[in-house]
């Protein structure tokens, strides 16, 4: 069986965001495993306008094509006002079938590890027929980021990242049989 394709989705688009640092760290850990094809998928690259505000046929097609090429996901989620970012919610809403019957892991960060954003994302993923996995690396802005801007994760997070990836791969492989 060929390797699964797992997208590491950066869930923030704002200037000065730290999600690229977190995503690159997850990708380095994942690539060392050699068990799947991992790639960073930055929603900022797709330039999706707010849903319904402009003709976004070209952007939506590119976004859905990218999602359809993936077997599973790892969401890098920052917590904004106790929830996910507007840009992530917007990107989730731009697709439907491309999400269905796939698995996802969540790596969150925020003042309480991004836990509230992760919980909101789990509800949305359920509606999109995405099976989210249990293991959830939660990173603290106070202990895993220097001055809130430079990502320096504690070594203890490696166990959770690898556990989450184990579950994402197991579920992604199982759900691939439904698609």
What CATH number is attached to the domain comprising 40?
3.40.50.360
**Strands 145-146 and 150-151, bridge-based pairing:** antiparallel
Segment 78-86 mean pLDDT: 96
**Strands 37-42 and 5-10, bridge-based pairing:** parallel
Residue 148's pLDDT is 86
| 104: nearest Cα among 131, 134, 69, 144 | 131
> Do 133 and 166 form a contact (C-beta atoms < 8 A)?
no
Residue 17's pLDDT is 95
Taking the C-alpha atoms of residue 156 and residue 154, their distance in angstroms, rounded to an integer, is 5
Is the per-residue pLDDT at 147 higher than 70? yes
Query: Predicted confidence band at 166 (pLDDT cuts at 50, 70, 90)?
Result: very high
- Number of independent structural domains in the chain: 1
Look at residue 119 and tell me if it is in a domain.
Answer: yes
- pLDDT tens readout for residues 1-60: 699 999 999 999 999 999 999 999 999 999 999 999 999 999 999 999 999 999 999 999
Taking the C-alpha atoms of residue 179 and residue 176, their distance in angstroms, rounded to an integer, is 5
pTM above 0.75, yes or no: yes
Look at residue 179 and tell me if it is in a domain.
Answer: no
Residue 19's pLDDT is 97
* Half-sphere exposure of residue 178: CA atoms within 13 angstroms, side-chain side: 16
Look at residue 27 and tell me if it is in a domain.
Answer: yes
Q: What is the mean pLDDT of the chain?
A: 97
Residue 43's pLDDT is 98
- pLDDT tens readout for residues 97-113: 999 999 999 999 999 99
> Do 144 and 78 form a contact (C-beta atoms < 8 A)?
no
| Domain ranges, residue 28 | 3-174
The DSSP 8-state label assigned to residue 46 in this structure reads G
Taking the C-alpha atoms of residue 76 and residue 20, their distance in angstroms, rounded to an integer, is 9
Residue 1's pLDDT is 65
């Amino acid at each position: 069986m060929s390797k699964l394709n797992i997208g590491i989705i950066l869930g923030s688009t704002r200037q000065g965001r730290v999600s690229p640092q977190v995503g690159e760290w997850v990708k380095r850990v994942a690539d060392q495993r050699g068990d799947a094809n991992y790639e960073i998928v930055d929603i900022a690259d797709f330039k999706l306008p707010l849903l319904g505000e402009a003709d976004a046929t070209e952007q939506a097609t590119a976004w859905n094509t990218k999602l359809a090429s993936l077997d599973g996901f790892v969401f890098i989620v920052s917590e904004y006002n106790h929830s996910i970012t507007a840009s992530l919610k917007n990107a989730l809403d731009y697709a439907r079938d491309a999400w269905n019957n796939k698995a996802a892991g969540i790596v969150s960060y925020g003042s309480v590890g991004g836990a509230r954003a992760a919980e909101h994302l789990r509800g949305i993923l359920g509606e999109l027929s995405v099976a989210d996995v249990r293991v959830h690396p939660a990173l603290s802005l106070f202990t895993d980021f220097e001055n809130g801007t430079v990502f320096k994760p504690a070594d203890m997070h490696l166990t959770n990242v690898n556990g989450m990836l184990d579950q994402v791969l197991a579920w992604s492989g199982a759900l691939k049989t439904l698609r």
